Amino acid sequence: MRDRQTVAACPYFVMENAGYCDESFNSLQSGTSDEDMVEIAGATLDFSSTDDVPPLDRDYVSGYTSYNGVTEGVNGVPKLMDLLDEPLPGVGTYEDFNTIDWVREKSKDRDRHREITNKSKESTWALMKSVSDAFSGWLLMLLIGLMAGALAGGIDISAHWLTDLKGGVCLNGFWFNHEHCCWNSNETTFVERDKCPQWKSWAELIIGTAEGSFAYIVNYVMYVCWALLFAFLAVSLVRAFAPYACGSGIPEIKTILSGFIIRGYLGKWTLVIKTITLVLAVSSGLSLGKEGPLIHVACCCGNILCHVFTKYRKNEAKRREVLSAAAAVGVSVAFGAPIGGVLFSLEEVSYYFPLKTLWRSFFAALVAAFTLRSINPFGNSRLVLFYVEFHSPWHLLELVPFILLGIFGGLWGAAFIRANIAWCRRRKTTRLGHYPVLEVLVVTAVTAVLAFPNEYTRMSTSELISELFNDCTLLDSSKLCDYINVNITKSSNELADRPASTNVYMAMWQLALALVFKMLITVVTFGMKVPSGLFIPSMAVGAIAGRLLGVAMEQLAYYHHDWVIFRGWCSPGADCITPGLYAMVGAAACLGGVTRMTVSLVVIMFELTGGLEYIVPLMAAAMTSKWVADAIGREGIYEAHIRLNGYPFLEAKEEFSHKTLAMDVMRPRRSDPPLSVLTQDSMTVEDVETLITETSYSGFPVVVSHESQRLVGFALRRDLTISIENARRRQDGIVSTSRVFFTEYTPPQAPSSPAPLKLRSVMDLSPFTVTDHTPMEIVVDIFRKLGLRQCLVTHNGRLLGIITKKDILKHMAQMANRDPDSILFN
Amino acid sequence: MVYETVTNPRYQLFSFACFLMMLSTAEVTGAKNSEDIRCKCICPPYKDVFGKIYKQNVSLKDCNCLHVVEPMPVEGKDVEAYCLRCECKYEERSSGTIKLTIIIYLSILGLLILYMVYLTLVEPALKRRLFGHSQLIQSDDDLGDQQPFANAHDVLSHSRSRPNVLNKVEHAQQRWKRQVQEQRKSVFDRHVVLS
């Protein structure tokens, strides 16, 4: 296991040309090459070696038949003049904020698999090894499911308890939330289902009474204080321990899954801090959800567990397959929807999704759902708080209001994305971004102060959605279900449409105010420096709008049942309109408008309701909202955030429709200096090092000679630096004037010249090339489908230039009249 | 592959943690306190009887209206009509799991808060007291120079019995702090990642 690296350390950033070096020669046990930036030799180290004069006791004349890298010395002892046999630790790894080379990773995995298969025929032990290697993927999925399910259960239980802590304490045991405190009590009444003597509100504890305006004020003040405390703790912990734990996480995970490297984003500390602060942020009453952060938590679990298995630790492409499955697990535990989770991972998050991953993701999602169910956080063996169970039918004419809800969802989604991106851009560029802690506290204070008076914003958003999804029966006694009960002679629990009482009208007013409040405050909340998700607030907005429309339709049908549109199917005494269904459809429409999910949204909602009856309304609303939102703005919220941050994400869904050619995009342009190339046998170590230090390119093509410019291969900067540094330290006789050879056979050297350095092993012998007249459509297609990082451009067989992924993104930005300098990373 | 993973200490730690997690889950789901099961019957208003909720700790087979609704508010032939409107549900919970989860969460949160207070307030104060203000500034800026830190932590720890382990821990902690500082610069100051 190549864990130890005893070379000098110098982490790089591509962004800054000056790196800083850490001359620590202690053994850096950086087996987790993900956590710490794997430290390699840096350009600012002193390159002069201590022994410039080759030692006299080496015999270079006779010992120089270089035959595949092993030279025989005088004594017949094989000298390893290069390190072809053993790959250096560090070669083949990537720097932070860089893109991986998918082709290389996949071929590495195929080689490894071939080697294991070949060896498995030799002995039983090797056969066992090959079986366990095949089985390791499934074991990893099982572990991810267990860990993510356990964490999600813990998060749910803690979030419920902390949310209720803002209102009071349970005297039976402080760890019970309000519902569980009154679980066994016989003092709950039909009208007040939450009342029991064991649960004391803060007013009762502080001043002794629970009624009266003074008690109300004390409750108000305690609510705001607790909310501020939770938010302050959340943002301080994020700032102190893991700044990567803020935000939703989905845009960055999308970028990571497309091949980008962000070290530490899926690490141990990020996992711990995200779990702890997510509970705090949700409990503080802010208008955010926990679904997006749960996906990040699940991917962290996946990444951490990958380090246990060599097959996944060393190969970035295989690791991303596991991360796709982990994203599915995240959605599965958030919604209790395993199939929806897999489809969400396929549609929204993953970039390359091989079919093998489909089955494994489903397995992991099921394991996680099963683990969550066995922990039973909601006390009724349901996975999600808002699981609905009604099965009332709907009529075809109701598609009209459903489509109206879809239009509302699309409009709101597009408006929300515009407003949120504008706010986040302001946070990035102006002074607003210098005070993150203060910003969080101010937003929390405003939210808490405005949310407490309205009972529908005081309760947690999940509870609100659950209440809105619920269809009113005789057994309900909430304000929303307070209909005037006319003529109840039927003994079944299905009710006819009834006229609303004043309570219902008051509830409608409160809900309308809550709608406006939530629409405005979510714009400011999403993107703050605490873990924040977007699913639940969008669903809340949609559910409120849907319920309002549903109750309006219901009352219209009751009072005007003789109108043409109602006459056929909504006779008096029939139960025709279900406001709960309208709330569900509204929630789906708004969520679809913001995230532009299609199939996964419908499947998640269908798994939430457990009935096939409502697929058509859900699909109608989802499609309408997506079309309306796409007509206004092309991108969903996650793509918009990716573009805001300048990540190098090549959008797989967009079509490139311009008629430019490869030579319009390639570098060097006409006014630039010529392409920096390495020659295959005429450069010295010093020349190579100068080239590396003077330029900041991350790779160099290798040509036969400067005159012919015929292509040999491509060498990455990081691999070159590691190999040269290692050769200087380990190999005998490598000095600044040593020749560097990229050829297969090195010619015999004169006895006075220093030993040659063979670097053929770090060179990629099959770089992708296109001709200069290739249309850019094809080039973009090649980049997308193969996951390339760079592509060489040739003309008449001679090397002309290079196109990198960043060039393509800049070109696409230019074609779309956007600022090409907004692409920040490489 | 398996041999390598088994000897990897990280793997051992993870397997132990997973085993603990599964054990605690299994244990708390296995135990069924009598207080943790209930049958809840909700009966809506009927004629002139108000709506009421009845709860009892009975098992699944006894969870119906006749067993749970006591005392029955209506007589004789009305009982059937009344019971038809009532809805009885059997529910289970695990109070042990809830207690364990909350206590684990609060202890981790407490530890993190203490560590954060130590890192932000106590450690700089200690260093300032021991080494003076100037060296503190110098060692903050000069990230590449390890010597002051190595000396500082040696002196602070007051023991040279196992320098290797302590040095390793100190070194790991320094590296982690540098990473967090880099992350903080990218996220909070330069706003490069994560808007």
Mean pLDDT confidence for A245-263: 92
Cβ within 8 Å of B, A 427-486: 427-429, 433, 436, 474-475, 477
- pLDDT at position A81 is 43
Residue B100: count other Cβ atoms within 10 Å of its Cβ.
18
Nearest to A198 by CA among A177, A216, A215: A177
Name the minimum distance, in Å, from the CA of A822 to any CA of chain B.
11
- CA-based end-to-end distance of chain A: 31
Structure token digits, residue B131: 């080494």
Chain A contact set for B144 (CB, 8 A)? 20-23
Q: Which chain A residues contact residue B183 at CB under 8 A?
A: 242-244, 264
Query: pLDDT band at residue A437, thresholds of 50, 70 and 90?
Result: very high
Alpha carbon of A361: minimum distance to chain B alpha carbons (Å): 20
Q: Does residue A126 have a pLDDT over 80?
A: yes
Q: Residue A428, exposed/middle/buried by CB under 10 A (0-12, 13-18, 19+)?
A: middle
| φ, ψ of residue A695 in degrees (nearest 5) | -110, 170
Cβ-based neighbours of A57, under 8 Å, separated by 6 or more = none
Cβ-based neighbour number of residue A751 at 10 Å: 12
Which two three-digit tokens encode residue A278?
Answer: 């997510």
Could you say which DSSP state residue B187 is in? I
Give the one of B11, B102, B180 whose C-beta lies nearest to A158's C-beta: B102
Tell me the average pLDDT of chain A.
Answer: 83
Q: Is A172 on the interface with B (CB under 8 A)?
A: no
Q: Ranked by mean pLDDT, which of A495-499, B11-15, B55-59, B115-119 comes out on top? A: B115-119
Nearest CA in chain B to A16: B186
Residue in B43, B98, B173 to test binding to A, most A beta-carbons within 10 Å: B98
**CA atoms within 13 Å, Cβ hemisphere of A768:** 17
Contacts of B91 in chain A (CB under 8 A): 379-380
Q: Measured between alpha carbons, how far is A148 from A151 in angstroms, rounded to an integer?
A: 5
User: What is the predicted pLDDT for the residue at A380?
Assistant: 63
Task: Kindly state whether A498 is in contact with chain B, defined as any CB-CB distance less than 8 angstroms.
Answer: no
- Confirm if A42 and A19 have CB atoms less than 8 A apart: yes
pLDDT in tens, A477-508: 788 887 776 555 554 555 667 777 888 889 99
| pLDDT tens for each residue of A511-569 | 999 999 999 999 999 989 999 999 999 999 999 999 999 999 988 888 887 888 777 77
* Per-residue model confidence (pLDDT) at position B156: 44
Contacts of A158 in chain B (CB under 8 A): 101-102, 105
pLDDT-derived band at B34 (thresholds 50, 70, 90) equals low
N residues, chain A:
826
Residue of B nearest to A9 (CA): B144
Query: Of A383, A345, A374, A380, which Cα lies nearest the Cα of A362?
Result: A345
Q: Read off the DSSP letter of residue A383.
A: S
Contact residues for B162 (Cβ-Cβ < 8 A; gap 6+): none
* CB contact at 8 A, A417 and A626: no
- Give bridge partners of residue B37 from the DSSP assignment: B92
CB within 8 Å of B121: residues ≥ 6 apart? none
Band the pLDDT of B63: cuts 50, 70, 90.
Answer: confident
pLDDT at A119: 87
Query: How are the residues of chain A apportioned to helix, strand and coil, as percentages rounded to the nearest 5?
Result: 55, 10, 40
Residue A232 pLDDT: 96
Nearest to A241 among B57, B87, B112 (CB): B112
Neighbours of B130 (CB within 10 A): 12
Interface check for A15 against chain B (CB to CB < 8 A): the answer is: yes
Token code pair at residue B35: 């207080």
Q: What average pLDDT does this structure show over A42-67?
A: 38
Closest partner residue to A645 (CB to CB) among B55, B81, B195 is B195
* Residue A73 confidence (pLDDT): 40
Mean pLDDT, rounded, for A779-800: 90
Confidence band (pLDDT; 50, 70, 90) for A299? very high
Residue A89 CA: distances (Å) to CA of A1, A140, A727, B176: 10, 25, 13, 21
- Distance in angstroms (rounded) separating the CA atoms of residues A180 and A156: 14
Q: Kindly report which listed range (A115-119, A331-335, A467-471, A562-566) carries the lowest average pLDDT score.
A: A562-566
Please judge whether A147 and B113 are an interchain contact, meaning their C-beta atoms are less than 8 angstroms apart. Answer: no
Q: Are A347 and A381 in contact (CB under 8 A)?
A: no
Tell which wins on pLDDT, A101 or A537: A537
| A191 has a chain B CB within 8 A of its CB | yes
Find the CB nearest A252 among B85, B99, B194.
B194
* Per-residue pLDDT, A409: 96
Residue of A nearest to B189 (CA): A434
pLDDT at B25: 52
Cβ separation A153–B108 shorter than 8 A: no
Q: Which of residues 218-257 of A touch B (CB under 8 A)?
A: 233, 236-237, 239-244, 246-247, 252
Residue percentage of chain A with pLDDT more than 90: 42
Return the pLDDT at A488.
Answer: 54
Task: Give the span between the Cα atoms of A547 and A464, in whole angstroms.
Answer: 11
Coil, helix or strand at residue B99: helix
Q: What gap in Å lies between CA A353 and CA A652, rounded to an integer? A: 12
pLDDT exceeds cutoff 80 at B26: no
The mean pLDDT value for B54-77 works out to 83
What is the reported pLDDT for A36?
41
CA dist., res. A658 & res. A636, Å (int): 23
- CA dist A172 and A29 (Å) reads 49
What pLDDT shows up at residue B64? 84
Residue A775: strand pairing partners: A661
Rounded to 5°, the CA angle A436-A440-A444 comes to: 170
Geometric angle at alpha carbon A455, from A450 and A456, rounded to 5° = 90
**pLDDT band (50, 70, 90) for residue B21:** low
A23 touches chain B (CB under 8 A): yes
Where is pLDDT greater, at A569 or B143? Answer: A569
Mean of pLDDT values over A83-101 = 73
Contacts of A240 in chain B (CB under 8 A): 116, 119-120, 180
In the numeric block, the tokens 């990198």 are attached to: A804
By CB atoms closer than 10 A (0-12, 13-18, 19+), residue A783 is buried
> CA nearest A155: which of A254, A338, A298?
A298
**Rounded CA separation A374/A381 (Å):** 8
3-state SS, residue A793: strand
Contact B179 A237 (CB under 8 A): no
**Do residue A150 and residue B5 have CB atoms under 8 angstroms apart?**
no
| Position A801 pLDDT exceeds 70 | yes
Tell me, yes or no, if A823 comes closer than 8 A to chain B by beta carbon.
no
Alpha-carbon span B105 to A276, nearest angstrom: 8
- Pick from A229, A236, A227, A238: which is nearest to A273 by CA? A238
> Does the CB of A175 have a partner CB in chain B at under 8 Å?
yes
Q: Name residue, tokens 């007589």.
A: B75
A:701-730 residues touching chain B, CB 8 A cutoff:
none
Task: Look up residue A67 and give its DSSP letter.
Answer: B
Taking residues A238-245, report their average pLDDT.
92
The ipTM, to two decimals, is 0.83
State the burial class of residue A467 (Cβ atoms within 10 Å of its Cβ: 0-12, 13-18, 19+): buried
pLDDT for res A708: 87
* Nearest residue on chain B to A526, alpha-carbon basis: B195
On chain B, the residues whose CB falls within 8 A of the CB of A264 are 179, 183
Chain-chain contact of B14 with A264 (C-beta, under 8 angstroms): no
A493 touches chain B (CB under 8 A): yes
Portion 379-418 of A in contact with B at CB < 8 A: 379-381
- Which H or E run includes B45? none
SS3 (DSSP) at B163: helix
* pLDDT score recorded for residue A136: 92
Helices marked H in A610-762 = 615-632, 637-645, 662-665, 685-694, 717-730
Classify residue A346 by its DSSP letter: I
pTM above the 0.90 mark? Answer: no
In this predicted model, what pLDDT tens digit does every residue of A335-371 receive, in sequence order?
A: 888 999 999 999 988 888 888 889 999 999 999 999 9
Mean pLDDT of B144-150: 38
Q: Look up residue B158 and give its two tokens.
A: 């007051």
HSE-CB of B102 using CA atoms within 13 angstroms: 19
CB contact under 8 A, A310 and B5: yes
Sorted by sequence, the CB contacts under 8 Å of residue A23 that are 6+ apart come out as A8, A9, B144, B146
A positions 516-535 inside 8 Å of B (CB): 527, 529
pLDDT at A9: 38
Pairing label, strands A739-741, A683-684: antiparallel
* Shortest Cα–Cα distance, B30 to chain A (Å): 10
Which residue among A133, A184, A645 places its CB closest to the CB of B35? Answer: A184
Residues with Cβ within 8 Å of A264's Cβ and at least 6 positions away in sequence, in order, are A34, A35, A244, A270, B179, B183
Chain mean pLDDT for chain B: 73
pLDDT of residue A526: 92
Helix%, strand%, coil% for chain B, nearest 5: 65, 10, 25
Percent of chain A with pLDDT over 70: 86
**Is the Cβ pair A645, B192 closer than 8 Å?**
yes
What residues have CB less than 8 Å from B185, skipping those under 6 apart?
none
Contact predicate A240/A265, CB 8 Å: no
3-state secondary structure of A70: strand
pLDDT band at A173 (very low <50, low <70, confident <90, very high): confident
Which of A89-93, A230-234, A604-608 is most confident? A230-234
Better-predicted residue by pLDDT, B66 or A300:
A300
What b/e sequence results for A707-717 when a residue is b if at least 16 CB atoms lie within 10 Å of its CB, and e otherwise?
A: eebebbbbbbb
Backbone CA torsion sign across B127, B132, B133, B134: negative
> Of A160, A219, A170, which is closest to residue A448 (Cα–Cα)?
A219
- Contact between chains at B187 and A147 (C-beta distance less than 8 A): no
Torsion of CA B85, B88, B89, B92, to 10 degrees: 160
